[in-house]
Structure 1
Amino acid sequence: MNDLDMVRDLRSQVRQSEESDLRGARRRVLASMARESRGRRLPRIVVRVAAVGILGVTITAGVMVVQTPRTDGQGKGAASAPAWLPVANVETLAKRATAAAARQTDVYPRADQWVYVKRDFYSSPKMLPESVVPPVGGGKTGSRYTAEMWTRGDGKERAQRNEGSKTITRRQGGEDPRLRFDPAYLRSLPLEPSALLERLKRDTAGVIPLPEMRAVSHQVLMILQEGAPAARLRAALYTVLSQLDDVGVEEVRDLLGREGVGIYTDDDEGIRQEVIIDPNTYVLLGGRRVYVGGSESQSPYSKLPKGEVVFSVAQVTAGIVDNAGGVP
């Protein structure tokens, strides 16, 4: 870590001066000056120091408002970008999420309760059905649709209801490691990022047919999208993503048009896998797969135009309910 990175990390933990703070400070200084009698003037140096102090705070606030983020063209934050700007590098984003999570209380469901997640999906009509990774429980290609899912707290059962249907489909859960995102499993995961990374490597080894780090990335995305993890685990998962190779960040809108920060990795087939995070609350907004080019001719994506969104999902709402079919 160089000196600039250290300054950014320290600076990002300090609450920045708001306009209300500045107005209050200005009023107090002026009121203090006004109470002095005409026969007794403050020494000129004191007034000058006070004025310089106000000016310094005002300049700092001005920088916060008018500066725009700079990137190096690859999604990574450029070295000159202040750490308190909305878009920074992925490491800083993960550290902010960790700091925010430390101020929250993680809430997990009881064994007999359920985690409810409602998501909005989109898959490109330009893709063949077998080329698109569908959501858990299936889905249609070339369409926009909504699905609700319930996962029991002990991980032993899951349920799903697709858009337009009144039927809730139930099935057993927890037996397939590739689909482990239930609360019981999430509570077993370590919160220390390096230990979490090693655990995910072990859990995906020989189970997910991908290179080691891509398998980890796949599992992290699955947990974030399907499991609705509590704040501290969510922040640890962001940190794990920041430790993967060729990870970048970019400003992006999710499927519902919400502004977010995308943490992404690019694979050998020219697909950018992206997790979209709310830059203020650090909750998950969703994710998407975008074709960015560079794939081989035999890839199912090679004939797509660059920038084509192959698949996208937005997390509409999540919460804890008492039964499958209930909503928060």
Structure 2
Amino acid sequence: MIRTPWRRREEPLDHAELRRLLPAPGDPELSSDRLRGLEEHLMTEIRNRTPDTAPDTAPDTAPNPLAGPPPAGAPAGDRASRPGRRSGRRPVLVGVGVAAALALAAAGVAALAGGPGGSGGSEDPGRVAAPPAGAVPAPVVQVVRGSTAGLAGAVADISGAAARAELPEPGPGQFLYIRSEVSGLVSWEGSDGKNRSYVDKIHPREVWMSPDGAKGWLLEPHGKGTGCGGITLDDPEGGERTLNSPSHAYLKTLPTDPSLLLEKIYDETRGMGNGPDQQAFGTIGNLLREQVVPPKLAAGLYRAAARIPGVVLVDDSVDAAGRHGIAIARTDESDGSRTEWIFDRETFAYLGERTVQTRDAEGIRAGTVRGYTAVTGRAVVDALKQRPAGSAPGGDRAGAPAAPSAGT
């Protein structure tokens, strides 16, 4: 509280006068070291608060008939989240989250600094006149209501296809390679004070990881914070492997029984995210998006996800490559965003993921596509930064994306 002897306590403060007394805003340009530090911080925050998924304004459907009693690791009664735990290393499985979060942070830093693109003059320096570079208006779609009707049959088909999939298995000295098309939300407040929802232009993202997770590389030249040459994902200290910071070798140690899997997921993610059910769903989604999951484990993960309260089947969804399919989905009760895992209608192969706003919230209108991905390739290569034969460079989008492998 500001106290001055000549001002009566009930007299309002002169905010315009206070603004004139403040120093001029600094230069918004950040050094590469500062950007790298910001990325590291955001990666840590994303690990502890997974930002995906959600039920509609009206719930999608009645209680999930596959859910059954809560796993032993799931808290009973009040589902409010508790302070999260931190794992030993930053995860690779951030998908669209990194691009979206870094875009938000960069826009926020520029807005606070009142730099180029700011409103300037006598207007509020916290607002900018133009959206971030590379951003386009977020698509708005009709929200298709989800239902538990048909969920059991769809999960049986999807898990069966995953169990039968012939996925690449890395050998000594080899690397897992995952290529996807991605786009994430960029919130922007214009100089008129109105919030607008923009997304990054759809762009390629490539990840290389050694089976033990010790070496890796991320290339996302059109994203935020990686630069044209990419960034290292090396973990020379060999941090602890967890569900939110896994390696391929770690995934092979997990149980494949759905009940045991779900119990472990609830226990290991206790206190993280927007409630235990939402965090469990998000954790499984992260594993599916940017890993090569062993076939039997993938089948178990799908069956485990179907038992999470609030999970529904959506008849139609579209990935970042424009491919339509059915979706297993869940709505985040806290913000109304619904994350949809999309599968081919014929082969039941995993295609990608989409997050759609189901109700007006936080300045985002219902139907806004907050982000989406499309997995276009999973392979094993012999060296870091090497691409499979016939694969286009990460900075190019040559032709239509190739269909992903069956299962995950």
Per the shorter chain, which TM-score range?
A: 0.5 to 0.7
Structure 2 residue 187 is the aligned partner of structure 1 residue 110: no
1:224 CA drift (Å): 0.5
1:204-283 alignment, distance < 5 Å: 204-206=269-271, 208-250=272-314, 251-268=316-333, 269-283=335-349
Partners of 2:337 and 2:266 in 1: CA distance: 22
Tell me which structure has the larger Cα radius of gyration. Answer: 1
1:148 CA drift (Å): 0.5
1:123-138 alignment, distance < 5 Å: 123-126=184-187
Partners of 2:330 and 2:168 in 1: CA distance: 30
1:109-188 alignment, distance < 5 Å: 109-126=170-187, 142-163=200-221, 167-173=229-235, 175=239, 177=242, 179-188=244-253
Structure 2 residue 146 is the aligned partner of structure 1 residue 75: yes
Letter in 1 for 2:365: P
Letter in 2 for 1:292: T
Partners of 2:199 and 2:145 in 1: CA distance: 30
Letter in 2 for 1:318: R
Unpaired stretches in structure 2, ≥5 consecutive residues: 1-64, 66-143, 190-197, 389-408
Letter in 1 for 2:368: E
Partners of 1:267 and 1:209 in 2: CA distance: 10
Of the three residues 278, 287, 302, the one matched with 2:353 is: 287
Partners of 2:269 and 2:368 in 1: CA distance: 29
Letter in 1 for 2:306: S
Partners of 2:359 and 2:158 in 1: CA distance: 31
1:98 CA drift (Å): 2.9
Letter in 1 for 2:152: E
Of the three residues 360, 369, 379, the one matched with 1:319 is: 379
Alpha-carbon contact 2:289-2:352 (below 8 Å) kept: yes
Structure 2 residue 368 is the aligned partner of structure 1 residue 308: yes
Partners of 2:200 and 2:164 in 1: CA distance: 42
Alpha-carbon contact 1:127-1:310 (below 8 Å) kept: no
Q: In terms of mean alpha carbon deviation, does 310-319 or 226-235 score higher?
A: 226-235
Q: How many residues matched?
A: 229
Cα-to-partner distance string for 1:228-272 (whole Å, 9 max, x where unaligned): 313322222111111111111111121111121111111121111
- Greater relative CO (CA pairs within 8 A, separation 6+): 2
Matched residue, 2:152: 91
Partners of 1:178 and 1:252 in 2: CA distance: 27
1:46-65 alignment, distance < 5 Å: none
Alpha-carbon contact 1:106-1:232 (below 8 Å) kept: no
Partners of 1:141 and 1:75 in 2: CA distance: 24
Report the secondary structure of 1:252's partner residue: strand
The structure-2 alpha-carbon separation of the partners of 1:253 and 1:275, relative to structure 1 and needing over 3 Å to count, comes to same
Partners of 2:234 and 2:385 in 1: CA distance: 16
Partners of 1:194 and 1:107 in 2: CA distance: 27
Report the secondary structure of 2:218's partner residue: strand
Structure 2 residue 254 is the aligned partner of structure 1 residue 189: yes
Matched residue, 2:100: none
The structure-2 alpha-carbon separation of the partners of 1:220 and 1:103, relative to structure 1 and needing over 3 Å to count, comes to closer
Partners of 1:168 and 1:302 in 2: CA distance: 32
RMSD: 2.6
Alpha-carbon contact 2:266-2:280 (below 8 Å) kept: yes
Alpha-carbon contact 2:176-2:379 (below 8 Å) kept: yes
Matched residue, 1:63: none
Partners of 2:221 and 2:343 in 1: CA distance: 25
Partners of 2:260 and 2:248 in 1: CA distance: 19
Partners of 1:178 and 1:187 in 2: CA distance: 12
The structure-2 alpha-carbon separation of the partners of 1:198 and 1:108, relative to structure 1 and needing over 3 Å to count, comes to farther
1:311 CA drift (Å): 1.3
Unpaired stretches in structure 1, ≥5 consecutive residues: 6-72, 79-88, 129-139, 295-300
Partners of 2:295 and 2:345 in 1: CA distance: 14
Matched residue, 2:69: none
Structure 2 residue 261 is the aligned partner of structure 1 residue 199: no
1:308 CA drift (Å): 0.2
1:126 CA drift (Å): 4.1
Letter in 2 for 1:157: K
Which structure has greater helix proportion? 1
Letter in 2 for 1:124: L
